[in-house]
Amino acid sequence: MSDESAEISGSPEWLALNESSGRFDDLALRRLFTDNPGRATAMTTTVGDLVIDWSKHRVDPDTMSQLFALGHRAGLRERTTQMVTGQRINTTESRPVLHTALRAPAGTVIEVDGHDVVPDVHAELRRMEAFADRVRDGDWTGQTGRPIHTVVNIGIGGSDLGPVMAYEALAGFRHDRVRCRFVSNVDGSDLAAAVGDLEPATTLFVISSKTFTTLETLTNARSARAWIVGQLGEDAVAKHFVAVSTNAEQVAAFGIDTTNMFGFWDWVGGRYSVDSAIGLTLMLAIGPDAFSEFLGGFRIVDEHLVSQPLETNAPVILGLIEVWYRTFCDLPTRAVLPYNRHLHRFPAYLQQLDMESNGKQVRLDGTPVDYETGPIIWGEPGTNGQHSFHQLLHQGTTVVPTDFIVFGWPDTTDSEFPGISAHHDLLVANCFAQSEALAFGRTAEEVAVDESDPQLVAHRTFPGNRPSTTIMAPRLTPSVLGQLIALYEHQVLTQGVVWGVNSFDQWGVELGKVLATAIIPELAPEAAPLGNHDESTNALISRYRAMRGRS
């Protein structure tokens, strides 16, 4: 990053946006559309199958010009090039950030310390494909010789959120026989619910942990191992467990044949890893061909990112608008509302992608930021949210920028379920209506035309002026899902570069892990003495001991 961008908040571009934020309330969407009849066309951007309407944002050409100038000042183009060419932009861990290499076409050259990593990526993909074909064809059998019917993915964080989100999203592409379940929570009821009704003889566990030491994952994995061994014997472990890891020694000690260990690299961050071997469970479900289409979708947006100028670059535009809202307009949160039930885990996936990446309070050089970073991401599928939190979106005191995601075709056809097209028309109508109502609202004068009770006019008035993006695609396919994920990945990159933070480490998750490790022995039946905790934590530990009848 350039010296200038390290002092980004003192730059002329930043100061100009600070001044512009004072007229944020004047950026009324009704007026912006009235003054510019071609606004919707001018502010709709296409990348791959995604059509992105960002015209309902509270920005005008001057605002966007200032944001693009800020992006240039921050060195966004240079930083993007550094990322995709394998430079060590994760400075706190001295690592490249090369999730884009996971979907690079064969023949591309991307070097890390003089070594081309692309052939390694494709070699691992071929190993995954061969294994997936064996499981899907029934050639891989368990201890009793029966084919696998259920794959249980055990991981946490990026080793869970990405695979489970994509598995749910691509339900229409799953294998007829092979079904997948996911365990992440160390709460024992999570594992019990996942395996309680399964047959051990037809169950395969995928243990996903880069180091094979992640406490929550290994706790669940050991319990799953005991379940298999108790039913099928010690020799069954090699046939009912595979690993996604880089720690061959620990994998072998667990009892997994290391020929059934699938690897990835330290330049793949967990929240960016669903398109690596971490996606093995997804490949088992949808097959190698569909997984290849999934990777191709990522690639479409990657190529758009590196080839388009900032001014026509879809993820850059959306990322800069989020910087405008979070930093200059003090809007702390963003809702992501997919109008497709199969994307019900997509907001949770984006929570990790965005909040773990940019929830930072120091710059790359360790100095504190003096501005707001990292929006709070949340959401639920439409139309359910319309009957709960949409009240706050429309008439609450907090302005919440919103992303709507919608598709032209339903995932189910009328031949599969009669009348489903009418359902989809209603679903899409609601999506469009919500964005319209948020943007333009309903004035008191408009309400008064229909409302005879003047006391109700204020209650039925909608202020409008609530900004949103609408992202449309023809269908939810593996390629389109890859495009969506990459779009948000590169938005996060854009925001982090402008804020001058490291979007690719996550030290904030470490302290709780360290403290939990200290507390575990203090809760055990033969409890260790209380440690050096605060008064409240010591009281909680003692109360737990008493509840469990432990002295």
| Residues pairing with 368 in the sheet | 362
Q: Are 180 and 285 in contact (CB under 8 A)?
A: yes
Q: Are 227 and 245 in contact (CB under 8 A)?
A: no
Q: Which of 387, 445, 526, 535 is catalytic?
A: 387
Q: Which of 356, 380, 489, 522 is catalytic?
A: 356
Residue among 415, 462, 399, 410 at smallest CA distance from 436? 462
Has 387 been annotated as catalytic?
yes
Has 240 been annotated as catalytic?
no
Dihedral pair phi/psi, residue 23, rounded to 5°: -105, 20
Report whether the peptide linkage leading into residue 398 is cis, meaning its omega lies within 30 degrees of zero. no
Residue among 333, 378, 375, 405 at smallest CA distance from 496? 375
> Scanning the structure block, which residue is given the tokens 């679903």?
427
Strands (E), 396-543: 402-407, 468-473
**Sequential DSSP letters for 309-354:** -GGG-HHHHHHHHHHIIIIIS---EEEEEESSGGGTTHHHHHIIII
Q: Residue 491 in 3-state DSSP?
A: helix
Q: Beta strand pairing status for 44-47 and 50-53?
A: antiparallel
Has 356 been annotated as catalytic?
yes
Q: Beta strand pairing status for 150-154 and 203-208?
A: parallel
- Report CA dihedral (326, 328, 330, 333) to the nearest 10 degrees: -10
Helix (H) or strand (E) holding 223: helix 215-232
Residue among 181, 180, 177 at smallest CA distance from 137? 177
298/284 Cα distance (integer angstroms): 19
Alpha carbon separation from 250 to 210, 218, 230, 246, 279 (Å, rounded): 11, 11, 22, 9, 21
Residue positions annotated with a catalytic role: 356, 387, 513
